Structures are given as C-alpha cells and as structure tokens.
C-alpha cells in the first residue's frame, strides 16, 4: 500500500489547493471588509512557508534521486 508521503509533490499540491488558496481568499475578504490585517495574514504566512519547504524538499529529492540505480 502506497503512503501519501511517497509522492511529496502531491503533498505540496494539496497544501496549495486545500490550505493556501482558500486562506488567501479569506485574507483578501477580511482586508477589504475591515481595512486592517488580521490573524488570517499570520496563518497565510505560516502556510506559505510550509508550502515552500515542501517544494524545496521535492526539488532536492529530484536532484539527489535517492535509490536511483542509474548512477547519474
């Protein structure tokens, strides 16, 4: 049985689609309504950082290619 973390690119896409994009919409709606920053902006910053770390991991794994037998 494949584990969802076997494909870190899917984790990154999930974080983007399920967490970051809806939070961006909420942040824009809140900013337009109140005119000031809120707790949403902090959450958005945190989720964006997690997304960046996931994609950095994917990039490094694509370069290193652990378990590759080609020797390239």
What are 37-62's pLDDT values in tens digits? 667 777 788 888 888 898 899 889 88
Q: Which domain holds residue 48?
A: 36-63
Short-list 39, 55, 38, 44, CA closest to 21: 44
Instruction: Give the pLDDT confidence score for residue 20 in this predicted structure.
Output: 79
Q: What pLDDT sits at residue 22?
A: 82
- Is position 70 within any domain? no
46: in domain: yes
51 in a domain, yes or no?
yes
Rounded (5°) CA angle 23-11-3: 140
Residue 59 lies in a domain: yes
0.75 cut: is pTM over it? no
Rounded to 5 degrees, what are φ and ψ at 6? -70, -20
* CA-to-CA separations, 27 to 6, 18, 19, 53, in angstroms, rounded: 32, 15, 12, 22
22 falls within a domain:
no
Quote the number of domains for the chain: 1
């Amino acid at each position: 049985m494949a584990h969802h973390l076997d494909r870190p690119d899917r984790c990154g896409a999930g974080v983007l689609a399920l967490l970051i994009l809806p939070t961006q919409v909420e942040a824009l709606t809140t900013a337009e309504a109140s005119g000031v920053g809120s707790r949403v902006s902090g959450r958005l910053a945190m989720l964006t950082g997690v997304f960046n770390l996931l994609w950095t991991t994917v990039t490094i794994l694509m370069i290193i290619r652990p378990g590759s037998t080609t020797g390239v």
